[in-house]
Copies of this chain bind each other. A is one copy, B any other.
């Protein structure tokens, strides 16, 4: 039984940065080979970053991806790393000319025509979500993603043509099946075909975005696929933020019998190097086959979001002999270890910190600015920002008005002192009075005016000093529209966009407790956590004047927004019908505000944004 030293490269690519991403592959491959790795695996769309969205339609970009792949193969060889197969995700296309290996792509006929023809309306040529095996300075083999996710935040039917061939590469005497991301989430798909192909290892490369509890789903899922394939599975996921998505890593190796052999930590770059014993390839199979695999459609834990296949997949198997001889691994056996799981709050906090840091850094902002009200939302965002960027890159501005309580200013100042951020005070009343003196405004118009003056001040600071403005409205507020458009919603990024208010409090308490446990100063003033929430736009105003208590509101919103539940389901779940009707109406009529809201890190199963697409013009109302 051959032993292979695998290196799973859990790295952080940037969308569009072909040069930088290729550099990451070279650098990481060198480290891996130095550690004796015999097979190095990078994530889905490593070379282009993921998701590249409509860049797929830009021929110049596709061409550049293919060229960068070939250049990378040559560079790895020049680096003296050509003897070790390196697996890299990239963007390919068979719309114009040959695929990136310059010859026959896995299972495609030599003239570039499709190996089989589907019966549906789908194209047989076009852009491909692809995986390449780089070896000896060339592109030795390719695989095209078979199952294309087209739900939630994913639009892969928009972008890609599905591959219909399982590529099996022989590496150091082991047959290795190649798969990409969603292929793992479907029973009866490429993993079932991999069993028919008799592989010893299935590699699955991912751009799998973080969601709360997703890591709890992943391990059982990888186990089921390992059982289906009858082979060890090497699961590699990227880390890092990309607009509203944050990738959490969680790369792992699982044996055919379900044993978790090694697992990387979440939210950090990590090179997981691990020796695995694998069955040697049977030498009597060396021709291509066409097989139909049948599986059960038991997928998937996360429910309706993941579309189950029909449990019947016809694929060709294409076999490519890459190399029989691999460099012998030096030194002692490699054990990647199993990273410890962390608490839910720690996981969410890490996601929010990484999502913000990468948005700020990958977009080249020197610093961020936000308004500090003394309330819980801005306090938590400030703490996240300081964790992400350090206190020197965070500017907090207290923007008091007539209605601001003394404790608001004190709590904001206290937060600044605890975190060390750059603190300023900019009273808004003179500017507010300028509008009131020249216009006849009353009621809500005056309330919103204050929020908008604050927005203008923060944007002026942004223009003057170059900061990215952060906005701090939590998911509960966004859901019911409890915010002022172009007021407190002003900002280029919103770390709390997908965080329910109840969870904001939970995160604050967790972060403080975690600081105490580490012997550090808790960043968030206890008073900001304890006091009743208020927008402070009119005298004595409290959120509870306009909204149900968050302990009542949030469970309704979770059901309606995240769960797509209707009124009947929600009443059956025990919610008060009168409150329910008021809340659902607020959610329905706030869609126009959400459409203009800042991006923010997705952490739930259904984030506002591309994950939940509802019409603004919509007369449907859930009714009793």
Quick check: A17 and B59 within 8 Å, CB to CB?
A: no
Give the shortest distance, in Å, between A618 (CB) and chain B (any CB).
4
Task: Kindly specify which of A211-219, A280-288, A338-346, A449-457 makes contact with the partner chain.
Answer: A449-457
Q: Give a binary string over A414-451; 1 marks a CB under 8 Å from any B CB, 0 the rest.
A: 00000000000011001101110111111011001100
Contact A445 B464 (CB under 8 A): yes
Interfacial chain B residues near A362, Cβ < 8 Å = 617, 619
Q: Are B119 and A566 in contact (CB under 8 A)?
A: no
Closest-CB distance, A316 to chain B (whole angstroms): 12
Min distance, Cβ A468 to any Cβ of chain B, angstroms: 9
Contact A457 B430 (CB under 8 A): no
Known pairs A310-B123, A595-B599, A615-B55; A463 contacts B439 (CB<8 A)? no
**Are B14 and A51 interface neighbours, CB within 8 A?**
no
Number of interface residues of A (CB under 8 A): 106
B438 touches A614 (CB 8 A): no
**How many angstroms from the CA of A251 to the CA of B16 in the assembled complex?**
44
* Contact, CB under 8 Å: B60 / A566: yes
CA distance A389 to B141 in the complex (A): 62
Contacts A57-B564, A464-B440, A596-B597; is A52 near B16 (CB within 8 Å)?
no
Find out whether the CB atom of A242 lies under 8 angstroms from the CB atom of B615. Answer: yes
Does A482 interact with chain B (Cβ within 8 Å)? no
Contact call B445/A186, Cβ cutoff below 8 A? no
A540-553 interface bits toward B, Cβ cutoff 8 Å, 1 = contact, 0 = none: 00000000000000
A158 touches B151 (CB 8 A): yes
Smallest CB separation, A91 vs chain B (Å): 11
Most chain B Cβ neighbours within 10 Å, of A124, A241, A243:
A243
What separation, in Å, do the CA atoms of A362 and B313 have in the docked complex? 46
User: In the complex, A614 Cα to B610 Cα: how many Å?
Assistant: 12
- Name the B residues within 8 Å of A456 (CB-CB): 435, 449, 452-453, 456, 486
Stretch touching chain B among A100-108, A142-150, A253-261, A320-328: A142-150
Q: Decide yes or no whether A307 CB sits under 8 A from chain B.
A: yes
A568 close to chain B: CB less than 8 A? yes
A residues 54-68 near B (Cβ < 8 Å) are 54-55, 57-61, 63-64
How near does chain B come to A157, taking the closest CB pair, in angstroms? Answer: 4
A426 to B121, CA, bound (A): 57
| B122 and A120 form a contact (CB under 8 A) | yes
Verify if A530 is at the interface (C-beta below 8 Å from B).
no
Check A617–B243 contact: CB distance below 8 A.
Answer: yes
A243: chain B residues at CB < 8 Å are: 615-617
Nearest-Cβ distance from residue A3 to partner chain B, whole angstroms: 35
In the assembled complex, A80 has its CB within 8 A of some CB on chain B: no
Q: Counting CB contacts under 8 A, is A384 at the interface?
A: no
* A430 partner, pick from B20, B426, B437, B452, beta carbons under 8 A: B437
Interface flag for A485 (CB, 8 Å): yes
Would A435 and B449 count as touching, CB distance under 8 A?
no
Of all chain B residues, the one with the shortest Cβ separation from A19 is B619
A589 to B453, alpha carbons, bound, how many Å? 26
**A147, A313, A438, A610 interface centre (most CB from chain B within 10 Å):** A438
Q: How far, in angstroms, from A53 to B442 measured CA to CA in the complex?
A: 38
The residue in chain B whose Cβ has the minimal distance to the Cβ of A445 is B463
In the complex, which residue of chain B has the Cβ closest to the Cβ of A560? B58
The answer to whether A460 has its CB under 8 Å from any CB of chain B is: yes
| Closest Cβ–Cβ distance, residue A411 to chain B (whole Å) | 23
Residue in B59, B460, B567 whose CB lies within 8 Å of A449: B460
Q: Tell me if B242 and A617 are in contact (CB < 8 A).
A: yes
Q: Is the CB of A459 within 8 A of B448?
A: yes
Chain B residues with Cβ below 8 Å from A442 are 464
Most B CB contacts (10 A, CB to CB) among A55, A58, A120 go to A120
Question: In this complex, what residue of B is CB-closest to A51?
Answer: B615
Contact with B along A47-85 (1 / 0, CB 8 A): 000011111011111011000000000000000000000
Question: Does A337 sit at the interface, judged by CB under 8 A?
Answer: no
Interchain CB contact under 8 A, B459 and A59: no
Q: Which of B122, B155, B461, B610 contacts A307 (CB 8 A)?
A: B122
Say if the beta carbon of A314 comes within 8 Å of chain B. Answer: yes
A452 cross-chain contacts in B, Cβ below 8 A = 455-456, 459-460
A460 and B434 in contact, given A162-B121, A564-B57 (Cβ under 8 angstroms): no
Chain B residues, Cβ within 8 Å of A64: 620
The answer to whether A86 has its CB under 8 Å from any CB of chain B is no
Q: Which residue of B lies closest to A458 (CB)?
A: B486
Given contacts A118-B119, A310-B123, A596-B598, contact A53 B460 (CB under 8 A): no
**Other 7 A-B pairs with CB < 8 A, given A61-B566, A123-B307, A151-B158:** A55-B620, A60-B622, A119-B313, A122-B310, A157-B157, A439-B460, A456-B486
A-B contact pairs, 16 of them (CB 8 A): A14-B617, A52-B618, A55-B614, A117-B310, A118-B120, A121-B148, A121-B307, A150-B150, A150-B158, A155-B158, A157-B158, A243-B616, A359-B617, A363-B617, A426-B439, A441-B460
For the complex of A and B, the 10 pairs showing the least CB-CB separation, nearest first, are A60-B566, A16-B620, A434-B434, A445-B463, A17-B619, A16-B619, A157-B157, A445-B464, A121-B309, A16-B618
